[in-house]
């Protein structure tokens, strides 16, 4: 868990859901109340107290006071947006586990979609991923029991359990006529956020599955390792795969973008990302520093509908500064920042406190990042299809999402015409590699 005692809070660039949610940021309780001395309305407080008293005195069955207050708090927060929530001791612990990259369960990021549970993305090499659960899947039953009306927290509690035990998920998937059933064995989820390999001579590939506290350092180590494998010590191009990356720690995304952007080659705008909000210390401006680990070698970034939050920060920064070509499909569109505010030693509040913007002033909230080159998933040689559900859910689809109020064409980004190629095993990665080779030829001619 990242805990900072400084007055300025750090932030969650967290995607939706709580099942293995990624990243944690906190601020001190003393600073949490700054900035608004307006007294709470007495009449409303009296009305609220009156409701509590009537429930205690006249409800058909006795009700625990703590139950009433906790659910009243949850109700207030759920009316704001899908990402603000009350954290009881168990939920606090969940966030601590997720930042370490190790936690128990199935390995999926989920959110509420109306009255059901929707999969945002499975995490690489976890039980859910290996079983075939896909981004966009709608979970309609857990162990045969309907999820309709089930709270997200309750669903997560049910899906978690002892490693080695089985759970049955029934899902509805776009393009399938009947529900699909998966029996998945729970496991301790140890997530490595970075994987890398050489795609071809002098062309590297790095996959970031989520942004953890150590991801920035690991990304730089992966770049160094790939360059060491080349004869010249320099890559001719890099494919950065952010598909189905639900987000994570804000600072990690900044580190990744900064490693590829040389401030000395930028004009007056050296911004990587900035945030705007009412919380004291919420307005951050992260700028690029001198140096580019690839020394200007071309970069292709892959995104899809499961790419959210911190992934979109990286893609947006690289796109605005024309440092990379963004390929794939439209990203999720989560442009809000969450801060964890301690209420006491056991309880906390995860509250949306700011919106983040790309270097050119784009808010991607409920809009997402549009790729420069749109490449859909295609039919494979064996006739099967890559799930179109990868892009079937967006921030704008979530009930109660924050609207994007930024208007105008202050940061237009062109989208090239979609190309058609022959199908191969990983179509998008191969086409990203083809693009890099073409760019390398052009730059050397």
186 and 202 in a common domain:
no
What's the whole-number mean pLDDT along residues 56-63? 96
The token pair that represents 166 in the structure block: 């089985």
Per-residue pLDDT at 28 exceeds 90: no
The token pair that represents 300 in the structure block: 């292709």
Can 214 be counted among the known catalytic residues?
A: no
Tell me: the pLDDT tens digits for 71-88? Answer: 999 999 999 998 899 999
227 and 242 in a common domain:
yes
208 and 142 in a common domain:
no
Which one is catalytic: 81, 320, 387, 391?
A: 320
185 and 198 in a common domain:
no
CA distance 21 to 231: 40
Tell me the C-alpha to C-alpha distance, in Å, between residue 59 and each of 45, 64, 71: 20, 11, 16
pTM for this entry: 0.75
Q: How confident is the model at residue 112 (pLDDT cuts 50, 70, 90)?
A: confident
Task: Give the CATH number of the domain where residue 123 resides.
Answer: 2.30.42.10
Pairing of strands 12-13, 248-249: antiparallel
Looking up tokens 């590297």, which residue turns up? Answer: 204
Q: What is the CB neighbour count within 10 angstroms for residue 199?
A: 19
Instruction: Report if residue 155 sits inside a domain.
Output: yes
319 and 183 in a common domain:
no
306 and 203 in a common domain:
yes
Can 309 be counted among the known catalytic residues?
A: yes
Final residue of a structural domain among 190, 223, 254 = 190
Report whether 136 contacts 394 (CB < 8 A).
Answer: no
- Domain range for 115: 102-190
426 and 311 in a common domain:
yes
Report the pLDDT value the prediction gives residue 151, as an integer from 0 to 100: 84
Report the pLDDT value the prediction gives residue 386, as an integer from 0 to 100: 44
Tell me: the pLDDT tens digits for 356-379? Answer: 999 999 999 999 999 999 998 664
Final residue of a structural domain among 162, 190, 218 = 190
Which one is catalytic: 193, 213, 253, 309?
A: 309
Strand, helix or coil for residue 81: coil
107: alpha, beta or left? (left if phi > 0; alpha if psi -120 to 50): left
316 and 415 in a common domain:
yes
Final residue of a structural domain among 134, 165, 190 = 190
Report whether 375 contacts 428 (CB < 8 A).
Answer: yes
Which one is catalytic: 270, 334, 350, 394?
A: 334
Q: What is the CB neighbour count within 10 angstroms for residue 206?
A: 21
297 and 216 in a common domain:
yes
Q: Count structural domains, the chain.
A: 2
CA 48 to chain centre: 36
Can 320 be counted among the known catalytic residues?
A: yes
């Amino acid at each position: 868990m990242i805990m900072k005692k400084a007055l300025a809070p750090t932030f969650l660039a967290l995607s939706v859901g709580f099942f293995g949610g990624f990243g944690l940021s906190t601020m001190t309780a003393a600073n949490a109340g700054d900035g608004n001395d307006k007294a709470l309305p007495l009449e409303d407080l009296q009305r609220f107290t009156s409701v509590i008293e009537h429930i205690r005195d006249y409800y058909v069955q006795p009700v625990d006071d703590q139950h009433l207050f906790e659910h009243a708090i949850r109700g207030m927060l759920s009316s704001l947006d899908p990402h603000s929530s009350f954290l009881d001791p168990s939920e606090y612990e969940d966030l601590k586990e997720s930042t370490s990259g190790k936690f128990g369960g199935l390995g999926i990021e989920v959110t509420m979609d109306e009255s059901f549970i929707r999969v945002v993305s499975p995490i690489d090499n976890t039980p859910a991923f290996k079983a075939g659960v896909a981004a966009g899947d709608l979970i309609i039953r857990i162990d045969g029991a309907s999820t309709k009306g089930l709270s997200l927290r309750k669903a997560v509690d049910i899906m978690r359990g002892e490693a080695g035990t089985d759970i049955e998920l029934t899902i509805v998937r776009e393009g399938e006529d009947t529900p699909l059933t998966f029996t998945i064995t729970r496991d301790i989820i140890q997530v490595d956020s970075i994987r890398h390999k050489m795609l071809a001579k002098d062309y590297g590939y790095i996959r970031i599955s989520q942004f953890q506290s150590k991801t920035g350092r690991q990304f730089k180590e992966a770049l160094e390792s790939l360059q060491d494998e080349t004869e010249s010590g320099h890559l001719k191009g890099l494919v950065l795969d952010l598909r189905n990356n639900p987000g994570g720690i804000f600072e990690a995304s900044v580190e990744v973008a900064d490693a590829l952007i040389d401030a000395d080659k930028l004009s007056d705008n050296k911004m990587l990302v900035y945030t705007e909000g009412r919380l004291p210390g919420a307005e951050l401006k992260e700028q690029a520093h001198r140096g580019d680990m690839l020394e200007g070698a071309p970069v292709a970034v892959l995104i899809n509908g499961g790419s959210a939050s911190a992934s979109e920060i990286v893609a947006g920064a690289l796109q605005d500064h024309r440092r990379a070509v963004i390929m794939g499909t439209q990203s999720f569109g989560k442009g809000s920042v969450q801060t964890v505010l301690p209420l006491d030693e056991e309880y906390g509040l995860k509250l949306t406190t700011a919106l983040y913007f790309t270097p050119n002033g784009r808010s991607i909230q409920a809009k997402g990042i549009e790729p420069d080159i749109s490449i859909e998933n295609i039919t494979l040689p064996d006739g099967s299809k890559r799930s179109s559900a990868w892009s079937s859910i967006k921030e704008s689809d979530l009930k109660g999402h924050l609207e994007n109020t930024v208007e105008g064409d202050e940061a237009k980004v062109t989208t090239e015409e979609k190309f058609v190629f022959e199908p191969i095993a990983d179509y998008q990665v191969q086409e990203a590699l083809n693009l890099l080779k073409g760019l390398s030829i052009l730059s050397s001619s």
